[in-house]
Amino acid sequence: MPAKSYSRKRLQLLVFLGTGFALVLGVLGWSTYVGREMTMVYAPTVDAVMEIKTNGALAHLWLEEHLAGDPDAQVQDIESSLNRAQWFARALLVGGANEETRIYPLPDRHLQVAVEDVERSLKILHNLARERLAGRGASASGTQSDRLFDAVFKRFLSDAGEVEIRVQEIIESKQRVFLSTHFFLAAVAALVIVWGTVVLLRYLRQRELAEMERERLLRDLATKNQELEGILSVASHDFRSPLVNIQGFSRELAMSCEDFDQALAGHALPPEFSESAAAILQKDIPQAVAYIEQNVRKMDQLIKGLLKVSRLGRVPLEPRVIDMQALVGAVVASMQFQIRRCEARVHLGALPPCWGDENQLNQVFTNLLDNALKYVDPRRQPEIRIEGGLEAEMCHYTLADNGIGISPDHQNKIFDIFHRLYPERFVGDGLGLTIVKRILTRLGGAIEVNSEEGKGCRFHLFLPRGR
């Protein structure tokens, strides 16, 4: 599956799952909010209404018993009940808290108006109760004050009942809204999550099929590479056989020309024929044979280079943690002859351990150091610095020199096979950096170069960190 399709599938999956989880969080948040509102606002409201009705009724009962001469009915109990009922009524309007509970102001305006009516009835009851208590000795049952008190008390009970009914209606309404919203959001979240799960399963299946296809392609590529290396090996062997024959017959031709020249030297020949034969046998043919042998050697060198590069992919790796300080130090020590001959100074810094193959990495740094010693600038003393550090999951090594540098035209080609830098000035087969890059690629690393012509160059090597 193309990378863009995978990205689109991942985006769809993230959108579905994110939406589903957002809805789940919305359901939880809504449930928490409504539950908090029920617990902190309406539950205390119901309790407050019950307190108002209960204390109002108790005040009426104790007042009647007190007026009837019951010694257990005290005036302070009547006052306390009425004050308590009035406090709860006031708390429903403006909010309030005591040692028992905390009451929040009612959010419903119609409910507030009903509570205000209850509060006015309580105030009237309180005043009438005081009047009846003050005129107890002169009043009798059924007086106008008694009848007014009873009428206000009935209105109080009616208003308090309306408040209670209104509160219950609001609670039931909010419960209905809560349940419907809760079920709706839960259903939508379930659908989104189910759909997201389906998308996830499809994505995973497609990913599995893509991985299987990738493995198949990798196997085919490995098979084709193996076939290519086999063809290259056979072809190189077949190429070398004719080259050996050409080289052998060219030498025989050169020897035959020498014998023929010597044979002619013992016979008297016309001057014009003698001069022409001498030019052919002593100059033209030897020169042609020399060209043939030179190109044979060049062709042989190319074939050996191809075989050398092709064998890199077949060399078994032995990856482990490599002490790069010791490895590069050994490479520098093994090349002391070239270093002294160039009068070069090599500075070896701290090198962290990496994960790789010891023999392959030895070849990498040998090739790089050999190049640094080969492409020196005769105008200054050669100086080479090898340093290292850590970058995320990779080890970063640098090999810098102050040699002739690499022109911008060559920097993209130096890792190509058989590419030689300044072939007219320096000998080589053009394989060193090709081998370096192939080894680092096999080890899961990479190589880059920064350079300016005449100012030296700096190679950056990246290898996995030691595990």
Dump pLDDT digits (tens) for 145-190: 778 888 888 888 888 888 888 888 887 887 787 777 777 777 777 7
pLDDT band at 35 (very low <50, low <70, confident <90, very high): low
Q: Which residues on adjacent β-strands are paired with residue 446?
A: 462
pLDDT band at 332 (very low <50, low <70, confident <90, very high): very high
C-alpha 384/C-alpha 391 separation (Å) is 22
pLDDT for residue 123 is more than 80: yes
pLDDT for residue 314 is more than 50: yes
CB atoms inside a 10 Å sphere around CB 237 = 11
Lowest average pLDDT, out of 57-71, 290-304, 341-355, goes to 290-304
pLDDT band at 459 (very low <50, low <70, confident <90, very high): very high
Q: Crossing angle for the helix pair 109-134 and 75-94, nearest 10 degrees? A: 160
Q: Which helix (H) or strand (E) holds 347?
A: strand 345-348
Lowest average pLDDT, out of 152-156, 264-268, 432-436, goes to 264-268
Tokens of 7: 């990205």
170 vs 352: which has the higher pLDDT: 352
Kindly state the average pLDDT of the residues 424-448: 81
The pLDDT of residue 352: 93
Give percent above pLDDT 90 in the chain. Answer: 17
pLDDT for residue 5 is more than 60: no
What's the chain's average pLDDT? 80
pLDDT band at 1 (very low <50, low <70, confident <90, very high): very low
CA 456 to chain centre: 38
pLDDT band at 284 (very low <50, low <70, confident <90, very high): confident
Q: Which residues on adjacent β-strands are paired with residue 458?
A: 400, 450
Kindly state the average pLDDT of the residues 277-289: 75
Q: Which residue has the tokens 């990479």?
A: 446
Kindly state the average pLDDT of the residues 299-317: 70
Q: What are phi and psi of 452, to 5 degrees?
A: -130, 140
pLDDT band at 47 (very low <50, low <70, confident <90, very high): confident
The pLDDT of residue 348: 93
pLDDT band at 355 (very low <50, low <70, confident <90, very high): very high
Contacts 24+ apart (CB under 8 A), 333-341: 334/366, 335/366, 335/369, 335/370, 335/373, 338/370, 338/373, 339/373
Kindly state the average pLDDT of the residues 327-341: 92
Kindly state the average pLDDT of the residues 397-426: 79
Alpha helices by DSSP H, 3-143:
3-37, 43-67, 75-94, 109-134
Sequence-ordered list of residues with C-beta below 8 angstroms from that of 107, at least 6 positions apart, any chain: 41
Q: What is the DSSP string of 220-238?
A: HHHHHHHHHHHHHHHHHHH
C-alpha 427/C-alpha 145 separation (Å) is 131
pLDDT for residue 101 is more than 80: yes
The pLDDT of residue 139: 44
Kindly state the average pLDDT of the residues 47-52: 86
pLDDT band at 137 (very low <50, low <70, confident <90, very high): very low
C-alpha 346/C-alpha 348 separation (Å) is 6
| Each residue's pLDDT tens digit, 317-329 | 888 999 999 999 9
